[in-house]
Structure 1
Amino acid sequence: MFLRQLEPRTARTTAEVLNFALWPFAILTVLNRVFIKAVNGFITDDFRPVYNASLAFLNNQPIYTANFDSTDPHYLYPPSGTLLIAPLAILDPEKSRWCFILLNAVAILLAWYLLLRLFKFTLSSVAAPALLLAMFMSETVINTLVFTNVNGCLLLAEVVFIHLLLQRRDLWAGAVMGLTIAVKPTLAPLLLIALMRGQWKTLITAVAVPAVLNALAWPLIVDPMDFVTRTVPYLMETRDYFNSSIVGNAAYYGVADWLIWIIRLTMCVLVAISLWLLYRYYRDDEVFFICTMSGVLLIASWLLPSLGQMYYSMMVFPFLMTVVLRNSVLRNWPAWLAIFGFMTYDKWLSDRFQSAGRTVEYLRTTFGWGLLLIVVFCVLGDRYLAARREGRLRVGVTLDPPWMHPEAAVTPERLNGRGRAAAVETAKQ
């Protein structure tokens, strides 16, 4: 039966044409990224310090010895992360790196499949090859594989976490989140979503897992206190290289401190209002709420504090997939202008226009993240103002205008509790 699917035949519908066209591009792009680009590597090597730390751990040698005055990738994982990644050093460096590339590639492919399931798409739909191609054409996936870091595994953990939240399997969701926090806290802001949904049990395992792993790893490491005294202070600093956060780029360009604070505080206000609108009016629209909220929280956590790197953007794939939902905040061109800024692999460095090209290249991620947060705020704010003018404001009832749901002004299946009662009362009026 599988081989019959590969039999050449003429497409009869537009969907079949797109499927036949996109699948070869998607599959060959995946193979190129994994077996050619990633294996070739690049001057930036995130894997080497991780491997060296794993080797030092297995040989009972100091781990936290990085020279933070250099711009080379440093080993920054806590003791719990060291314990988890230690098996990497069992193999020689080259074979270990290849295995880590494959591990991340498989994790990204599993995340791709789970994203399709999350949004009710099948492998036979056009969305399957389109999403696969888009993911492996993006800067974030390419550089995650080429630099060989752990972000592919984090993406899979994020999507699994979302599935478990939706299934109300709180302790398991927390355990998955705890494993990611044990390595790096990139996804930790997503715990706020669990709290907003009243799934507080998620915190139990999310805190317990890294705590237990740290307790196990601490006596096995020669220099655990160096992580506290050397690495943690470095993580709190703002570096002016390979940093797309507001303060990172501002430090590079010498922007005045007062202007930096105005920009950051303004963006904080926009993010807070967006989160409030999502919580108050969309928390019963579960997939939209969780995925949109995850995008806003993560982008804000990279843009506003001290460090944000472009390839972190892989974690917003669930948010970007909401574009298939009728009430998505991404169905406008400014949103995709922003996404182009931090997702495309294009380089804007120019031999002819060196200063302008360098500025665009260094700032496009920062502007892209910032613009997307502004788009979310504007779309939700516009819906709120329109709903208030039309008398449609109800707690728990979405701000979606009626044209988004022609079958009913408000879709009953998306509501419960007070929201459902408010919708019925509105219909009676």
Structure 2
Amino acid sequence: MTVPRILAHVLWPLAIMTVLHRVVIKAVNGSITNDFGTVYIATRRFLAGEPVYGENLLTVQPHYLYAPSGTFLLSPFGVIDNYTLARWLFILLNTAAILGALWLLMRLFDLDVRSFATPAIVLATFCTEAVTNTLVFTNVNGVIFLCQVGFLYLLHRRRLWWAGVAMGLSLAIKPMLAPLLVLPLIRRQWQPFVAAVAIPAAAMAAGWALTVDAGRYLETTLPYMGEVRDYYNSSLAGLGLYYGVPEPLVLVARILVVAATLLAVWLLLDYRYTNEVLWLTTTSGVVLTGVFLVSTLGQMYYSMMLIPLMLTVVVDKSLVRNWPAWLAAYGIFTLDFWESARWPYYGRLLEFAHPTIGWLLLLATVLVVLLWRRTDPRRHERIAPAATAA
């Protein structure tokens, strides 16, 4: 029996049982944090013609922060009278979306879905905090992840109109992936922007017309989303606020991260023609890492959107074939709980800061490898843009 076949026999049971455990046990059991509860209540009110944005935003409980466009698209779940059934369907939708995204990623990287790579990737993904808590907290990030991977896959396949549809659907729900529009912008491809703008605009128009208190979204919800909160916030601003770091220092750190992100994106242009898949996935990961760090809210489970970047490890000239990148991966994906009874201060510091440290280390690692390759042309074979077609 060959080694790949042995690995398939070993990994498939582990992957299947892990997925079942995350979905049937952990997700169904749920958590104190319940993102779907606010969605269900809001969509029920939306369908009944009642105010949607009237909750008290001063509490630390999950709040309903979706725009009227997101309310409109999520409203089918409000049609279901049984809350438990609606929540289970939402869990299944996000599970299917995550698995669909992994399948597309394997196609993007030309990996054989019949090989042991499939259970290995599924097992690794469902062991992450990002996927586990997306399902346990029952939020929509699994669908957003599918939209992200679909966007990258369709850009690579030159299905530009459909790439815009994938992006537009995600933006209609939440704007997390908007910075990735830099990819078609760099390639001067206008087609993705049509649906990426039209779909959110149409959903917003419909949602706005049907939401009785849509104006409160602009008056109350948007300003709240622009504030930095000091709980469940791994962004630089959130961590700085929690530990009382002076605002000027936090501002300097955020400016440095923006500069590092822009420099990395510029250096990654070297791969635009020589290895398009590597360019698309790495640039998307770098851009989102920078956004998670400098935005007003960065939550650890957002790291699901960095899975395409980490999967570039299978690609020649990958920038994550080094131990610092995977130390960073531990920081942003781990389910380990770091609070310590013996060293309470340091344990609590590691527990709160490891996602931020992981994002910083990942961005720094990619940037350092890019600079290291740029300083010695022998380490990095480049090709002139004029020699290839866009």
Gap change, CA 1:420 and 1:172, over 3 Å in 2: closer
Match of 2:331 among 341, 344, 367: 341
Equivalent residue, structure 1, for 2:65: 76
Residue in 2 aligned with 1:394? none
1:218 to 181, 186, 208: 208
Q: Which residue of structure 1 aligns with residue 239 of structure 2?
A: 249
Partners of 2:385 and 2:95 lie apart in 1 by 42
Task: State whether residues 97 and 148 of structure 1, in contact with CA within 8 Å, keep that contact through their aligned partners in structure 2.
Answer: yes
- 1:353, CA displacement in angstroms? 2.2
The runs of at least 4 consecutive aligned structure 1 residues that moved more than 6 Å come to none
Cα displacement (A) at 1:172: 1.5
1:20-39 equivalences in 2 (<5 Å) = 20-39=9-28
Kept in 1, the 8 Å contact 2:285–2:308? The answer is yes
Q: How far is 1:420 from its partner? A: 5.2
User: What amino acid maps onto 2:106 in structure 1?
Assistant: L
Gaps of 5+ in 1: 1-11, 391-398, 402-409, 422-429
Aligned counterparts of 1:366 and 1:335: Cα–Cα separation in 2: 14
1:239 aligned to which of 213, 229, 233: 229
For the residues of structure 2 that align with 1:170 and 1:147, how far apart are their CA atoms?
33
Quick one: higher RCO (CA 8 Å, sep 6+), 1 or 2?
2
Aligned partners of 2:164 and 2:194 also within 8 Å: yes
Structure 1 residue 202 displacement after superposition = 1.1
Shift of 1:204: 1.5
Deviations 1:221-273 (A, max 9, x none): 11000000000000111111110000100000000112112211222221111
What is the distance in 1 between the residues matched to 2:159 and 2:15?
33
Task: State the alpha-carbon separation in 2 of the partners of residues 420 and 103 from structure 1.
Answer: 41
TM (normalized to structure 1)?
A: 0.88
Determine which of 164, 173, 190 is the counterpart of 1:200. Answer: 190
- In structure 1, the partner of 2:386 is 418
Matches within 5 A, 1:169-180: 169-180=159-170
SS in 2 for 1:283: helix
What is the alpha-carbon distance in structure 1 between the residues aligned to residue 27 and residue 14 of structure 2? 18
User: RMSD over aligned Cα, in angstroms?
Assistant: 1.4
The alpha carbon displacement at 1:123 in A equals: 2.2
CA distance in 2, matches of 1:85, 1:420: 43
Residues 168 and 199, structure 2, Cα contact 8 Å, conserved in 1: yes
The secondary structure found in structure 2 opposite 1:312 is helix
Q: Is the 8 A contact 1:107 1:156 kept in 2?
A: yes
Structure 2 alignment gaps of length 5 or more: none
Counterpart Cα distance in 2 of 1:165 and 1:312: 22
C-alpha displacement of 1:417 = 5.2
SS at match of 1:320: helix
On the 8 A contact 2:257/2:293 being kept in 1, the answer is: no
C-alpha distance in 2, partners of 1:385/1:215?
Answer: 51
* Secondary structure of 2:376's aligned partner: helix
Amino acid at match of 1:418: A
Q: Out of 181, 185, 190, which is 2:175 matched to?
A: 185
Task: Indicate if the aligned counterparts of 1:197 and 1:283 stay in contact, CA closer than 8 A.
Answer: no
Do the aligned residues in 2 keep the contact of 1:244 with 1:307 (CA within 8 Å)?
A: yes
| Larger Cα-atom Rg | 1
3-state secondary structure, aligned to 1:241: coil
Aligned letter for 2:194? I
**Residue 150 of structure 1: aligned partner:** 140
Which of 46, 51, 56 does residue 57 from structure 1 map onto?
Answer: 46
Q: Answer whether contact 1:64 1:226 (CA < 8 A) is retained.
A: yes
Offset at 1:89? Answer: 1.5
Amino acid at match of 1:77: Y
Following the alignment from structure 1 to structure 2, what is the Cα–Cα distance between the partners of residues 160 and 416?
A: 29
1:299 to 289, 293, 304: 289
Alignment partner of 1:16: what SS?
helix
Query: How many aligned residue pairs are there?
Result: 387
1:97-116 matches, cutoff 5 A: 97-116=87-106
The counterpart of 1:45, out of the listed 26, 34, 42, is 34
Percent identity of paired positions between Structure 1 and Structure 2: 47
Matched to 1:272, the amino acid is L
Matches of 1:22 and 1:73, distance apart in 2: 36
Structure 1 stretch displaced more, 358-367 or 117-126:
117-126
Q: 1:326 aligns with which of 305, 316, 324?
A: 316
1:230 aligns with 2:195: no
Using the size of structure 2 for normalisation, the TM-score is 0.97
One-letter amino acid matched to 1:109:
L
Per-residue CA deviation, residues 128-155 of structure 1 (Å, 9 max, x unaligned), is: 1110000000000000000000000111
3-state SS of 2:75 partner: helix
Q: Tell me, yes or no, if structure 1 residue 400 matches structure 2 residue 380.
A: yes
C-alpha deviations, 1:358-402, integer Å up to 9, x for none? 110100000000110000110000000011xx5xxxxxxxx725x
Which range moved further: 200-209 or 295-304? Answer: 200-209
Counterpart CA distance in 1 for 2:246 and 2:206 is 45
CA separation in 2, counterparts of 1:171 and 1:19? 37
CA contact (8 A) 2:234 2:299 kept: yes
Supply the distance in 1 between the matched residues of 2:387 and 2:343 (Cα, whole angstroms): 56
CA–CA separation in structure 1 for the residues paired with 2:288 and 2:362: 12
* 1:334-364 Cα distance to aligned partner (Å, 9 max, x none): 0000110010111112233222111101000
Contact 1:182–1:210 (CA under 8 A) maintained in structure 2 = yes
Query: 2:343, 2:369 → 1: CA distance?
Result: 36
Among 10, 16, 25, the alignment partner of 2:5 is: 16
